[in-house]
Amino acid sequence: MNLCEVIKPGLFTTVQDLGRYGYQSYGVPVSGAMDNYAFIVANLLVGNKPNDACLEATLLGPELEFLNEAQLAITGAVLTPTINKIKAKCWMTFQVRKGDVLSFGNFKSGLRAYLAVRGGIEAPVVLGSRSTYARGGFGGFQGRPLRAGDVIKAYKPETFLRSGLSMPHHLIPIYGIKSTIEVVLGPQSDYFTETGLGTFFSSMYSVTSESDRMGYRLDGPMVEQKRSFDMVSDAVPVGAVQVPANGKPIVVMQDGQTTGGYPKVGIVITPDVSRLGQVRPNHKIKFSEISASEARVKLLKHIQGISQIKDKLEESKL
The 3-state DSSP class for residue 164 equals strand
Q: Can you tell me the distance from the alpha carbon of 82 to that of 97, in angstroms, rounded to the nearest whole number?
A: 14
Question: Quick one: pLDDT at residue 229?
Answer: 65
Residues of each domain in the chain carrying CATH 2.40.100.10: 178-304
Instruction: Enter the pTM of the model.
Output: 0.96
How many angstroms separate the Cα of 247 from the Cα of each of 75, 202, 222, 239?
Answer: 36, 15, 4, 17
Q: Which residues contact 159 (CB under 8 A, 6 or more apart)?
A: none
Question: Quick one: pLDDT at residue 107?
Answer: 81
Q: Which residues contact 315 (CB under 8 A, 6 or more apart)?
A: 163, 164, 165, 166
Contact 4, 152 (CB under 8 A): yes
Q: Is 224 exposed, middle or buried (0-12, 13-18, 19+ CB in 10 A)?
A: middle
Question: Quick one: pLDDT at residue 121?
Answer: 98
Low-confidence ranges of the chain (pLDDT < 50): none
Contact 16, 140 (CB under 8 A): yes
Neighbour count for residue 22 (Cβ, 10 Å) = 11
CATH architecture of 178-304: Beta Barrel (2.40)
Question: Quick one: pLDDT at residue 227?
Answer: 76
Q: Can you tell me the distance from the alpha carbon of 229 to that of 303, in angstroms, rounded to the nearest whole number?
A: 37
Closest to 285 (Cα-Cα) out of 148, 189, 176, 144: 176
CA dihedral 261, 131, 19, 129 (to 10 degrees): -120
The 3-state DSSP class for residue 212 equals coil
Question: Quick one: pLDDT at residue 317?
Answer: 86
Question: Quick one: pLDDT at residue 230?
Answer: 67
Q: Can you tell me the distance from the alpha carbon of 65 to that of 52, in angstroms, rounded to the nearest whole number?
A: 21
Total residue length of the chain: 318
CA dihedral 129, 134, 138, 141 (to 10 degrees): 80
Q: What are phi and psi of 245, to 5 degrees?
A: -60, -30
